[in-house]
């Protein structure tokens, strides 16, 4: 059966998605139950560092991409959290995250957060919510990995052992976001020069150690270019299939500077652990698009509510607030 004619920038939620999102959210609550406690995220619980930086919108953003935050060249304070997807041991294969919170003053004394949540692989391993739900059910039922993988060709490359520290890694949004009338994916590329050599690249905490070594001991700052990849073909770069690599040329829209700093202090790290980075913390101009992002709206909210005691996993999705 033929699907809808695809249009650039337009979402096309598949039939039955609401039920799949509800089932996914319930399953996440069930999984989350085994790791309760304040500040423990349902995913990406291990925090290497929470650091501050400055995000600057470039003056030469092409006219077609001058929307929302990228419309005007100016600088914003930013909070950045580096994390592992699942493992506590940095020498094991995993996903590594860089979550960026750009603090945007709204002109009336308040601040809106524009979060950009990124990971170290260009595509997600599941196409859509139904595909992801099928995977999670199989893992909960302990189906052997070799039986799962044939249905998830993007999975083997999705996790890996890191060979560079967090400041020398490239990160992608994997999913699409609105920009003007169109859609884009984000990519953040290190642009600050070579990373200093790291003493012990194999230890369980070497990613945090490499951040301390660079930013605090050697006092060398870091820099990333933030680029967008515009959706230039609605069929070849679909919004509703997060496993497809978008091939459009990245266009730089901003730069993130992380200055040398002392960050490895329990109080500062606990503030970052208690915050929430969520693609739905957003200006409307940068609204998340596609099924995987639609599911994240509910799951991230639940995870935040659980870890702050606004909701109990045992009671199912029963908000206490």
Q: Does 123 bind ligand HEM (CB under 6 A)?
A: no
Q: Does 276 bind ligand HEM (CB under 6 A)?
A: yes
Q: Is 95 exposed, middle or buried (0-12, 13-18, 19+ CB in 10 A)?
A: buried
Q: Does 224 bind ligand HEM (CB under 6 A)?
A: no
Query: What's the closest the beta carbon of residue 47 comes to ligand HEM, in angstroms?
Result: 7
Q: What angle do CA 135, 274, 292 make, to 5 degrees?
A: 30
Lookup: tokens for 159: 């996790």
Using alpha carbons, select from 221, 240, 222, 239 the residue that is nearest to residue 230. 239
Residue of this chain nearest to ligand HEM (CB atom):
97
Q: Is 107 exposed, middle or buried (0-12, 13-18, 19+ CB in 10 A)?
A: exposed
Query: What's the closest the beta carbon of residue 190 comes to ligand HEM, in angstroms?
Result: 17
Contact residue for ligand HEM among 152, 177, 246, 277 (CB under 6 A): 277
Q: Does 300 bind ligand HEM (CB under 6 A)?
A: yes
Q: What is d(CA 270, CA 282) in angstroms, rounded to the nearest whole number?
A: 23
Query: What's the closest the beta carbon of residue 88 comes to ligand HEM, in angstroms?
Result: 15
Q: Does 282 bind ligand HEM (CB under 6 A)?
A: no
Backbone angles phi, psi at 173, to 5 degrees: -80, -20
Using alpha carbons, select from 137, 154, 33 the residue that is nearest to residue 95. 154
Going by the DSSP 8-state scheme, the letter that residue 1 receives in this structure is: -
Residues 41-100 close enough to bind ligand HEM by CB under 6 A: 41-44, 81, 83, 97, 99
Query: What's the closest the beta carbon of residue 297 comes to ligand HEM, in angstroms?
Result: 9
Report the residue number, 97 or 182, with the smaller CB distance to ligand HEM. Answer: 97
Residues 131-160 close enough to bind ligand HEM by CB under 6 A: 132
Query: What's the closest the beta carbon of residue 54 comes to ligand HEM, in angstroms?
Result: 19
Residues 233-272 close enough to bind ligand HEM by CB under 6 A: none
Residues 156-195 close enough to bind ligand HEM by CB under 6 A: 173-175
Query: What's the closest the beta carbon of residue 37 comes to ligand HEM, in angstroms?
Result: 12
Contact residue for ligand HEM among 70, 158, 206, 304 (CB under 6 A): 304
Query: What's the closest the beta carbon of residue 1 comes to ligand HEM, in angstroms?
Result: 25
3-state secondary structure of 281: coil
First to last CA, the chain: 45
The residues, any chain, with a CB within 8 Å of residue 48's CB and separated by 6 or more, are 82, 83, 84, 90, 166, 205, 207, 208, 211
Residues 2-41 close enough to bind ligand HEM by CB under 6 A: 41
Sign of CA dihedral 65, 53, 114, 18: positive
The residues, any chain, with a CB within 8 Å of residue 299's CB and separated by 6 or more, are 24, 25, 28, 42
Contact residue for ligand HEM among 29, 102, 119, 130 (CB under 6 A): 119
Number of residues that bind ligand HEM (CB under 6 A): 26
Site of interaction with ligand HEM (CB under 6 A): 41-44, 81, 83, 97, 99, 117-119, 124, 132, 173-175, 276-277, 292, 295-296, 299-300, 303-304, 307
């Amino acid at each position: 059966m033929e699907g809808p004619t695809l249009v650039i920038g337009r979402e096309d939620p598949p039939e039955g998605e609401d039920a799949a999102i509800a089932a996914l959210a319930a399953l996440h609550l069930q999984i989350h139950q085994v790791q309760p406690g304040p500040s423990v995220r349902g995913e990406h619980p291990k925090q290497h560092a929470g650091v501050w930086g400055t995000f600057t919108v470039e003056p030469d953003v092409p006219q077609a991409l001058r929307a929302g935050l990228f419309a005007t060249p100016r600088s914003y304070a930013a909070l950045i959290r580096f994390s592992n997807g699942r493992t506590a041991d940095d020498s094991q294969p995993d996903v590594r995250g860089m979550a960026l919170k750009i603090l945007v003053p709204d002109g009336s004394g308040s601040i809106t957060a524009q979060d950009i949540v990124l990971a170290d692989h260009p595509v997600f391993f599941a196409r859509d919510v139904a595909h992801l739900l099928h995977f999670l059910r199989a893992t909960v039922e302990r189906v052997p990995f070799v039986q799962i993988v044939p249905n998830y060709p993007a999975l083997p490359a999705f996790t890996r052992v890191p060979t560079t520290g967090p400041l020398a890694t490239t990160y992608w949004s994997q999913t699409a976001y609105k920009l003007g009338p169109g859609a884009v994916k984000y990519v953040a590329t290190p642009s600050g020069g070579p990373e200093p050599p790291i003493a012990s690249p194999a230890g369980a905490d070497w990613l945090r150690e490499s951040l301390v070594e660079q930013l605090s001991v050697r006092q060398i700052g870091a820099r990333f270019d933030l680029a967008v990849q515009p959706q230039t073909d609605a069929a070849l770069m679909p919004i509703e299939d997060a496993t497809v690599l978008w091939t459009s040329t990245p266009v730089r829209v901003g730069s993130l500077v992380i200055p040398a700093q002392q960050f490895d202090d329990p109080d500062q790290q606990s503030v970052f652990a208690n915050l929430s980075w969520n693609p739905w913390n957003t200006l409307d101009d940068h609204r998340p698009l596609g099924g995987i992002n639609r599911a994240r709206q509910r799951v991230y909210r639940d995870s935040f509510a659980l870890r702050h005691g606004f909701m109990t996993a045992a009671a199912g999705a029963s908000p206490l607030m």
